[in-house]
Amino acid sequence: MPSASRPAKDFFRPLAVGAPQPLHEVPARPSRAIHFFDPSNQKMAAKIPAMVGSVDVLLGNLEDAVKADNKEAARQGLVDIAQATPELGGPDSKTQLWTRVNALDSPWALDDLTTLVTEIGDRLDVVMVPKVQGAEDIHYVDRLLAQLEAKAGLQRPILVHAILETARGVANVEEICGASPRMQGLSLGPADLAADRRMKTTRVGGGHPGYLVRQDPPVNDLGVSDHEAPRSTYQQDLWHYTIARMVDACAMHGIYPYYGPFGDITDVVACEDQFRNAFLLGCVGTWSLHPKQIAIANRVFSPSVEDVRHARRVKAAMGDGTGAVMLDGKMEDDASLKQCLVMVELAEQLAAIDPELKEQYDAIELEA
Ligand SMILES: CC(=O)SCCNC(=O)CCNC(=O)[C@H](O)C(C)(C)COP(=O)(O)OP(=O)(O)OC[C@H]1O[C@@H](n2cnc3c(N)ncnc32)[C@H](O)[C@@H]1OP(=O)(O)O
Ligand SMILES: CC(=O)C(=O)O
Ligand SMILES: [Mg+2]
């Protein structure tokens, strides 16, 4: 949907003479795990070529977590890795190549974009822009990318992904999503967002034991509450509101929402829970900061065999897709069929790139 600042007739016009035609629809490419690496870290960088094919997205991170002294080495390291790994990135690759550039007000962002588009623009699928505050940030990147694409003679537009990590960014989430046909998706930035909002968590993503609701106290025969009695508490999700807003804004604009980082690398159980909450709420993927988080993300963001089996059964039972039927004691109708089709379509997309999942999903058809 065009943003208010550009008339509908101009929304899909290239922003520079010779730039590729913007896409009318963001391609639905699997991106369960966006795996972060620091291209200036030799040990990490050496592992990247072998990871191609086993993770949906490899992202060369140039922003936070890369030391200021290493910014240029990281940028050049990413160029070197892309040039030495031809199967990484580009429209037909099994593993997409993304980058997170430095913030637009930093001394590095301009050189990040200029170097990467010029040197490896044909391989770069998505540029993640941190600390996006409003549509004006996307408009700046949009025009600059168009100029650089034209200069580099690129045939395919590079897409843009915004991190939501300021209060103003959250307040402007809808206009950010609709600011350009390049917009591919949004990720949650829980660390910067917590700081900007003056939240009192020092964790990178995940829950907090203090954010809870408590069971009501028991009441005696005289109607007096016993506040000292033991009562259950239920931890709540600090990020529910923001993720729900992101999901709605992305769905409205036909782009994709993602959870972000889960900083407690050792707590794989809570990591899986947080990822699953995001999956259930509508996110299509998440970040992986450490190799051990890739398998968690791939598992969580792939529909289970049980869910796919159920979805296919409903699809078969619903015939032309209208009316109501009973299946296993439950009502299914036009609307629940649509829910099931979300599951079936995702399973088909993932099966196309993941042979193990394909085998599992194909086996369902044999049993049906
Ligand atoms: C709030 C935000 O902005 S989040 C996004 C920014 N943060 C990041 O990108 C962090 C990325 N991840 C990392 O920097 C690291 O994983 C750390 C610092 C968290 C942990 O690193 P380590 O202490 O080296 O972890 P660990 O010892 O378990 O690593 C095991 C191996 O995996 C490698 N490894 C660790 N992380 C990664 C990674 N992201 N990608 C590839 N390889 C990795 C290590 O180099 C190490 O290799 P080795 O066995 O040859 O020695
Ligand atoms: C993801 C990120 O950049 C943050 O949490 O700040
Ligand atoms: Mg951040």
The reported pTM is 0.96
Question: Which domain range does residue 356 map to?
Answer: 305-362
Ligand 1 atom 35: residue of nearest CA = 290
- Proportion of the chain above pLDDT 70, given as a percent: 98
pLDDT score of 4: 55
CA of 208 to the centre of ligand 1 (A): 24
Task: Indicate if 282 and 351 belong to the same structural domain.
Answer: no
- The last residue of one of the domains, among 300, 327, 351, is 300
Ligand 1 binding pocket includes 44 (Cβ within 6 Å): yes
Q: Which of 38, 44, 70 to mutate to test the pocket of ligand 1 (most atoms within 8 A of CB)?
A: 44
Task: Indicate if 117 and 137 belong to the same structural domain.
Answer: yes
Task: Indicate if 66 and 200 belong to the same structural domain.
Answer: yes
Residue 285: both structure tokens together: 């993927």
- Domain membership of residue 217 (yes or no) is no
CA of 188 to the centre of ligand 2 (A): 7
- The last residue of one of the domains, among 252, 280, 300, is 300
Task: Indicate if 70 and 157 belong to the same structural domain.
Answer: yes
Q: Which ligand is nearest to the CA of 61?
A: 1
- Domain membership of residue 219 (yes or no) is no
Ligand 2 atom 4: residue of nearest CA = 189
- Domain membership of residue 213 (yes or no) is no
Ligand 1 binding pocket includes 261 (Cβ within 6 Å): yes
3-state SS, one letter per residue, for the chain:
CCCCCCCHHHCCCCCCCCCCCCCCCCCCCCCCEEEEECCCCHHHHHHHHHHECCECEEEEECCCCCCHHHHHHHHHHHHHHHHHCCCECCCCCCEEEEEECCCCCCCCHHHHHHHHHHHHCCCCCEEEECCCCCHHHHHHHHHHHHHHHHHHCCCCCCEEEEEECCHHHHHCHHHHHCCCCCEEEEEECHHHHHHHHCCCCCCCCCCCCCCEEECCCCECCCCCECCCCCCCEEECCCCHHHHHHHHHHHHHHCCEEECCCCCCCCCHHHHHHHHHHHHHHCCCEEEECCCHHHHHHHHHCCCCHHHHHHHHHHHHHCCCCCCEEEECCEEEEHHHHHHHHHHHHHHHHHHCCCHHHHHHHHHHHHHC
> For position 89, which CATH number holds?
3.20.20.60
Measured from the Cβ of residue 121, the count of other Cβ atoms closer than 10 Å reads 22
Atom of ligand 2 nearest to the CA of 64: 3
- Domain membership of residue 66 (yes or no) is yes
Task: Indicate if 243 and 148 belong to the same structural domain.
Answer: yes
- Domain membership of residue 84 (yes or no) is yes
pLDDT score of 5: 72
Task: Indicate if 200 and 316 belong to the same structural domain.
Answer: no
Condensed to tens digits (0 to 9), the pLDDT of residues 4-29 reads: 578 899 999 999 999 999 999 999 99
CA of 60 to the centre of ligand 2 (A): 15
CA of 191 to the centre of ligand 2 (A): 5
Task: Indicate if 295 and 322 belong to the same structural domain.
Answer: no
Residue 52 φ then ψ, to 5°: -65, 130
pLDDT score of 1: 45
Under-70 pLDDT residues of the chain: 1-4, 365-368
Task: Indicate if 261 and 341 belong to the same structural domain.
Answer: no
CA of 286 to the centre of ligand 1 (A): 16
Asked if the ipTM is above 0.90, the reply is yes
pLDDT score of 6: 81
Task: Indicate if 248 and 291 belong to the same structural domain.
Answer: yes
CA of 80 to the centre of ligand 1 (A): 20
Ligand 2 atom 2: residue of nearest CA = 189
- Domain membership of residue 67 (yes or no) is yes
Task: Indicate if 120 and 162 belong to the same structural domain.
Answer: yes
CA of 44 to the centre of ligand 1 (A): 7
pLDDT score of 368: 47
Burial 200-209 (b: 16+ CB within 10 A, else e): ebeebbbbbe
Counting the structural domains of the chain, the total is: 2
Atom of ligand 2 nearest to the CA of 130: 3
- Proportion of the chain above pLDDT 90, given as a percent: 96
Task: Indicate if 193 and 107 belong to the same structural domain.
Answer: yes
**Which residues contact ligand 2 via a Cβ below 6 A?**
64, 130, 163, 165, 189-192, 260-261
- Domain membership of residue 215 (yes or no) is no
Ligand 1 binding pocket includes 195 (Cβ within 6 Å): no
Q: Which ligand is nearest to the CA of 266?
A: 1
Find out whether 301 and 286 touch, Cβ atoms under 8 Å.
yes
- Domain membership of residue 226 (yes or no) is no
- The last residue of one of the domains, among 256, 282, 300, is 300
CA-based diameter of the chain, in Å?
81
Task: Indicate if 186 and 328 belong to the same structural domain.
Answer: no
